[in-house]
């Protein structure tokens, strides 16, 4: 059994991780609000995370929070020598550099999407964009109306994959007189209802259209992937790991 701490335990993903974990797997949670416990799991302020990681004998942290909170807890993991799985999205350059520093001290696995389907989608995207190298590309993502970062972390990761194959310039939404440039990729973020997460890449030639898409139907898919990643990460050397390594294991 992996003794897990959940950062962002009071949030949507925090609840999904609690639901996906076995009864005794989650031993403590972190959040800034006043909650003493969530589903019987004690809640500690992120500022006290390093002490709590030792007190609750935590094997690995699973994080789904906000960038500043993720960084506080990741740095506590570095101090306490505990591996961390980072699911939070929306880090800026400085935040990414701080995560890299953490990975010098402890194993850190970061993914913008813990569904196995998205891992496969990324591989298909690389193949399709490399092969259909003249086709126009357009990327669309849809998420629930509470999501704060845009485009989604997953859309940014898909964009990174595309840009490793082709020199395209993202155009975020279009308005007014906006003729399409040959080397651009339109990127669109929709926010509505409780959509768990949809991503679609359109590749269009003059006479055909290929659409590669993925839809998450329940947050449990992300929670299960992150818990698998946590179990996989325990006992590894310090360093930066990816979810693809877990999927391929």
Ligand X SMILES: O=C(O)C1=N[C@H](C(=O)O)C[C@H](O)C1
**Which positions are catalytic?**
143, 147
Q: Which helix (H) or strand (E) holds 79?
A: helix 67-80
By C-beta, is 118 or 162 nearer to ligand NDP? 118
Complete DSSP assignment for 151-170: S-HHHHHHHHHHHHHS--EE
The verdict on whether residue 102 carries a ligand-binding annotation is no
- Tokens standing for residue 137: 């590309």
- Examine residue 163 and tell whether it contacts ligand NDP (CB under 6 A): no
Grouping H, G, I as helix, E, B as strand and the rest as coil, residue 5 is: strand
- Examine residue 112 and tell whether it contacts ligand X (CB under 6 A): yes
The verdict on whether residue 177 carries a ligand-binding annotation is no
Instruction: Give the contact letters, 29-68, x = binds to ligand X (CB under 6 A), - = no.
Output: ----------------------------------------
Q: For helices 93-102 and 67-80, what crossing angle results, to 10°? A: 20
Instruction: Give the contact letters, 169-208, x = binds to ligand X (CB under 6 A), - = no.
Output: ----------------------------x-----------
Pairing of strands 209-215, 198-204: antiparallel
Bond before 151 cis per omega within 30 degrees: yes
Which residues, other chains included, contact 53 with Cβ-Cβ below 8 Å and sequence gap of 6+?
Answer: 5, 61, 76, 77, 80, 82
Q: Which of residues 130-159 bind ligand X (CB under 6 A)?
A: 143, 147, 152-154
- Examine residue 33 and tell whether it contacts ligand NDP (CB under 6 A): yes
By C-beta, is 203 or 229 nearer to ligand NDP? 229
- Examine residue 113 and tell whether it contacts ligand X (CB under 6 A): yes
- Examine residue 129 and tell whether it contacts ligand NDP (CB under 6 A): no
Q: Which helix (H) or strand (E) holds 47?
A: none
Task: In whole angstroms, give the CA distance from residue 101 to residue 105.
Answer: 7
Which residues are known binding-site members for NAD(+)? 8-13, 39, 87-89, 111-114
The residues binding ligand NDP (CB under 6 A) are 7-8, 10-14, 30-33, 46, 64-66, 68-69, 72, 87-90, 111-114, 149, 153, 222
Which residues are known binding-site members? 8-13, 39, 87-89, 111-114, 144, 153-154
């Amino acid at each position: 059994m992996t003794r897990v701490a959940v950062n962002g335990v009071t949030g949507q993903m925090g609840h999904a991780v609690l639901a996906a974990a076995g009864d005794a797997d989650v031993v403590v949670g972190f959040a800034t609000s006043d909650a003493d416990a969530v589903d019987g799991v004690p809640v500690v302020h992120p500022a006290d995370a390093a002490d709590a990681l030792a007190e609750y004998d935590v094997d690995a942290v699973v994080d789904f929070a906000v960038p500043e909170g993720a960084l506080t807890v990741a740095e506590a993991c570095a101090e306490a020598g505990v591996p961390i799985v980072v699911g939070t999205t929306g880090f800026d350059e400085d935040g990414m550099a701080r995560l890299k520093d953490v990975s010098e001290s402890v194993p850190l696995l970061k993914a913008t999407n813990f569904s196995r389907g998205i891992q496969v989608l990324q591989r298909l995207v690389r193949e399709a964009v490399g092969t259909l190298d003249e086709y126009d590309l357009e990327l669309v993502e849809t998420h629930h109306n509470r999501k704060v970062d845009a485009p989604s972390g997953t859309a940014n990761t898909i964009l990174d994959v595309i840009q490793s194959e082709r020199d395209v310039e993202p155009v975020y939404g279009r308005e007014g007189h906006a003729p399409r440039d040959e080397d651009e990729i339109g990127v669109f973020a929709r926010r509505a209802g409780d959509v768990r997460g949809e991503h679609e890449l359109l590749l269009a030639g003059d006479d055909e259209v290929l659409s590669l898409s993925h839809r998450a139907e329940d947050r449990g898919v992300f929670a299960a992937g992150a818990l698998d990643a946590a179990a996989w990460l325990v006992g590894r050397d310090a360093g930066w790991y990816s979810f693809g390594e877990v999927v391929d294991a």
